[in-house]
Amino acid sequence: MNHQVAEKIRMERLRLNLSQQNMADELGITVAAYSNLERGVSDISLSRLYQIAKILKRDPYWFLANDFRVEDEAVPYMTSNQQALSHQVFMLIQQVQNLQVEINSIKTKIGY
């Protein structure tokens, strides 16, 4: 994940008045490990992004989008169709990442 994702996580955490300690506790990691995620020092896996999104009550795709628009606060939850589409997008991204890992593994095996 890139620094923009990490920055969106940080901004959303601050908007919700959560501390890094709160986030670390919810994720079951140390504050230092969480800080590294939020600063972009450590990569954020999709499964970790999904956990963070759940804590911050955001769609995981929102963190991956290329803009910082904030949705209307009066409608903080998605419709069931939006949730289903979001889940499909999340699963497709995960499949693409898994395929990239598999491609890299095959390239290594054949000496590419």
Please determine, for residue 73, whether its predicted confidence score (pLDDT) is greater than 60: no
pLDDT tens, position by position, 87-96: 777 778 778 8
Number of folded domains that form the chain: 1
pLDDT tens, position by position, 17-29: 999 999 999 999 9
- The residue behind tokens 């929102």 is 62
109: left (phi over 0), alpha (psi -120 to 50) or beta: alpha
CA 58 to chain centre: 10
Q: Are 35 and 21 in contact (CB under 8 A)?
A: no
Structure-block tokens of residue 105:
């593994």
Radius of gyration of the chain (CA): 16
Q: In CATH, what number is assigned to the domain containing residue 83?
A: 1.10.260.40
Question: pTM higher than 0.85 for the full model?
Answer: no
Looking at residue 1, its pLDDT comes to: 53
